[in-house]
Structure 1
Amino acid sequence: MLQWKEFEAWVCIEGEETVEYDVQTSEDDRTVTCWIASELGKKFSIHWKNKAFLQDVGGSVKVDGNPCGGTISYAWRDLGRTISKSGIADAATLKSFVFSSLEVTDDDDALISSSSSALQDLGLLELTIYPVRINGELESTVFSRLNLSDLKVHERSKKAVTQQIKLAEPQPLEKAPRVLDIERTGPEVVKFCFKYRPIDVLRANGIAPSPSRLKRKASAEPPRALTPDDLEELADLEEAKNLREKLRALEKKLHKRDKKPRIKDEDGDVIDLTQNGARNKRVKVESDRPFISGEVIDLT
Structure 2
Amino acid sequence: MSSINISHFTAWITIEGTNCPIYALKSTTNPRDATCWIPSQEGKKFSVNWSNKFRDRPVHAQLSIDGVVCSTHFMLDAFRYPDDADAIGISYATTSDYTRRDFVFDAIQVTVGEDDDAYLYTLDNPPAFGTIRLELWEANIDQIVRAPFQHRYGGEVLESQIIHETSKKAGAHHVKFGGEYVVPQATVNMVNGTRKGTAALATFTFNYRPFDILLAGGIIPRHAVKAEAVDERIHDLEVQLATLRAQQRAGITPTRQPKTDWRSDPRTGKVVQVIDLTDL
Normalising to structure 2: TM-score of the pair? 0.68
Equivalents in 1 of 2:66, 2:28: separation in Å?
21
- Distance in 2, matches of 1:49 and 1:111, equals 42
Structure 1 Cα separation of the partners of residues 21 and 173 of structure 2: 18
Quick check: 1:71–1:85 contact (8 Å CA) kept in 2? Answer: no
Pair 1:173 & 2:205 matched: no
Q: Structure 1 residues 91, 114: CA separation in 2 closer, same or farther (over 3 Å shift)? A: same
Paired letter, 1:129: L
> Of the candidates 178, 188, 202, which is equivalent to residue 190 of structure 1?
202
| CA 171–155 in structure 1, closer or farther in 2 if over 3 Å, else same | same
Q: In the TM superposition, what is the alpha-carbon distance from 1:149 to its structure 2 partner?
A: 5.1
Counterpart residue identity of residue 86, structure 1? S
1:96 to 94, 102, 113: 102
**Using a 3 Å threshold, how does the CA distance of structure 1 residues 194 and 66 change in structure 2: closer, same or farther?**
same
| Percentage of pairs with the same residue | 29
The 1:147/1:215 distance shift into structure 2, 3 A limit, reads closer
Deviation at 1:23, TM superposition (A): 0.2
- Structure 1 runs not aligned, ≥5 long: 217-300
How many residues are matched?
Answer: 214
Describe how 1:66-145 pairs up with structure 2 within 5 A: 66-76=68-78, 77=81, 81-89=86-94, 90-105=96-111, 107-112=116-121, 116=125, 119=127, 121-136=128-143, 140-145=150-155
Q: CA deviation at 1:144?
A: 4.6
In structure 2, do the counterparts of structure 1 residues 112 and 181 end up closer, same or farther at CA, with 3 Å as the change threshold?
Answer: farther
Deviations 1:105-160 (A, max 9, x none): 252332346674x53x3111110111112334698351453422553222222436
Separation in structure 2 between the aligned mates of residue 47 and residue 214 of structure 1, nearest angstrom: 23
Which one has the bigger strand percentage? 2
Rate the CA distance shift 1:167–1:115 in 2: closer, same or farther, 3 A: same
* Per-residue deviation, 1:170: 1.9
Q: Distance in 1 between matches of 2:201 and 2:137?
A: 5
Q: 1:174–1:21: structure 2 CA closer, same or farther, 3 Å change rule? A: same
- Asked whether the 8 Å contact 2:159–2:177 carries over to 1, the reply is no
Q: Aligned residue for 1:290? A: none
- Mapped partners of 1:65, 1:13: distance in 2: 20
Residues 215 and 68 (structure 1), Cα distance of their counterparts in 2 relative to 1, 3 Å cut: closer
Q: How is 1:133-282 mapped onto 2 (pairs within 5 angstroms)?
A: 133-136=140-143, 140-148=150-158, 151-159=161-169, 162-176=172-186, 178=188, 180-186=191-197, 187-210=199-222, 211-212=225-226
Aligned residue number for residue 291 of structure 1: none
**Alpha carbons 2:123, 2:164 under 8 Å: kept:** no
SS in 2 for 1:12: strand
Q: Distance in 2 between matches of 1:158 and 1:66?
A: 21
- Unaligned runs of at least 5 residues, structure 2: 231-280
Larger Rg computed on CA atoms: 1
Q: 1:39 is aligned with what amino acid?
A: Q
Q: Quick check: 2:24–2:36 contact (8 Å CA) kept in 1?
A: yes
The alignment partner of 2:134 has SS state of: strand
| Residue type at the aligned position of 1:197 | R
Please give the alpha-carbon distance, in whole angstroms, between the structure 2 residues aligned to 1:64 and 1:174: 29
- Tell me the distance in 1 between the aligned counterparts of 2:214 and 2:100: 31
Deviations 1:57-84 (A, max 9, x none): 1111111111112221111237872111
Between the aligned partners of 2:38 and 2:72, the Cα distance in structure 1 is 21
* Structure-1 separation of matches of 2:215 and 2:121: 27
Counterparts of 2:173 and 2:85, CA distance in 1:
33
Cα separation, 2, equivalents of 1:155 and 1:125? 24
TM-score (norm. length: structure 1): 0.64
Change (3 A) 1:205 1:82: same
In 2: Cα distance, 1:80 partner to 1:88 partner: 20
Corresponding position of 2:34: 32
Across the aligned residues of Structure 1 and Structure 2, the Cα RMSD in angstroms comes to 2.7
Letter in 2 for 1:43: K
